[in-house]
Structures are given as C-alpha cells and as structure tokens.
Amino acid sequence: MTAIPRREKLAALFRQAVVIPVLTIERLEHAVPLAKALVAGDVRVLEVTLRTPVAVDAAKAIIAEVPDAVVGIGTILNGDDLSRARELGAVFGISPGATPELLQAAAASNLPFAPGVATASELMAALAAGFDLVKFFPAEQAGGIRAIRALAGPFPNARFCPTGGIGEANAASWLAEPNVLCVGGSWLCPPAEIRAGNWAGITAMCERAMKSLKPRDR
C-alpha cells in the first residue's frame, strides 16, 4: 500500500466515524460487551488504548468477536507498539505524540497511522514524515478551537482528530471546523458505566451522539 492510498484510507475512515471513542479497558470481560454496545449505537470505529495490562487481549477479543467494529490501537508510543498493533490486526494506529523514531517507523509501516501533535513544530515534523492527518492532543488544554484555527493558516492541508477535553457539550463546535475530520473522546463510555455493565445506557448515549453529530464532506 503506497503512502497516498494509506493516508486517504485513514481520512475516509475518520471522516465517516465522526466520533472515535477512546477505550481504556481495565477488565478483559468488559471488552466484547463494551464494543457490542458501541456498535449497537452506530459507533463502529474504536480506539483501544495500550494503557492497561489487558489492552492487547481486549483488542484481540474485540477483533475476533465483534466483526462490525473497526478497531484501531491508541497510545502507540514507539515502533514496538506499532508492530504490535499490526500483528493484532488493527485497522489503524494513533498516538498522543510522536518522536522522530516513531514517525520513521510509522512512515515505513503499511498501517494507517495518525501521530499526535500539540504545536506547530510537531505538526511540521509530522507533515515532513508524510502525515497530514494528525491527532491534536490534548485539544482543549493545547489551546482549543482557536489553536486549531491558527494552525490552519500556515498548514492549510493539515487535517485533525482533536482529542482531550471533548465531550457532548462541545463536540459539535469542534466538528464544525473545516480542518477537523472527527473527534476523539471517552464521554461515550464513562468508566462508571463500564464497571456497572450498563451497556444499554452506553448504546443510548451513542445513538444520541450519532443523531446529533452528522458526517459532512471535508
């Protein structure tokens, strides 16, 4: 897969997703019912973060048992994490930041990947490595919508998936920005609801969000 098709494949996936839930799965037995609850609410593109001891097994279980889920791996911090994501069968990878080593490994990989940026210099490094679709993180803390508007000036071709501090109250405002393809966040799967096994409640939250946040051409 060449760089351009890989990049456009990821852009199309993110554009259609609208919202990508950031999943930090603490217990393996929660993985499949959580994914099924999200998919039932029309949220199919999922980011399983490598933040817990069960994350890898959780991603494996979702990929194996929830075929309608489109599973990406998040919190990719180095080349080993990137390789692990590929071996798991992830559809994409995403990172909160990007070292030169990670950008080099991702550029050499055929896994669609979105590095994380918070500054103009970090965005320049991502663009130089061939990545024009990036995660803007932590979005609210790094300057919010005004920051992403400012980046649109010198970097008109850059596209973003803002994550961090985004929820039901402000997701639509972020998605209204022309350089934003989708948003990431954990508000669709609150830890308390996961621990309680309130899968119906999570599905209802997803349905409400997807009805109010429609994809558009970007």
29, 47, 193, 214: which one is catalytic? Answer: 47
Q: Is 9 a catalytic residue?
A: no
8, 65, 101, 135: which one is catalytic? Answer: 135
Task: State the Cα angle at 140 between 198 and 205, rounded to 5°.
Answer: 20
State how far the Cα of 34 lies from the Cα of 102, in Å rounded to an integer: 30
> Residue with structure tokens 């308390």?
192
Q: Is 47 a catalytic residue?
A: yes
- What is the SS3 assignment for 62-126? HHHHCCCCEEEEECCCCHHHHHHHHHHCCCEEECCCCCHHHHHHHHHCCCCEECEECCHHHHHHH
Of the candidates 189, 190, 122, 183, the one whose C-alpha atom is nearest the C-alpha of residue 155 is: 122
Active site residues: 47, 135
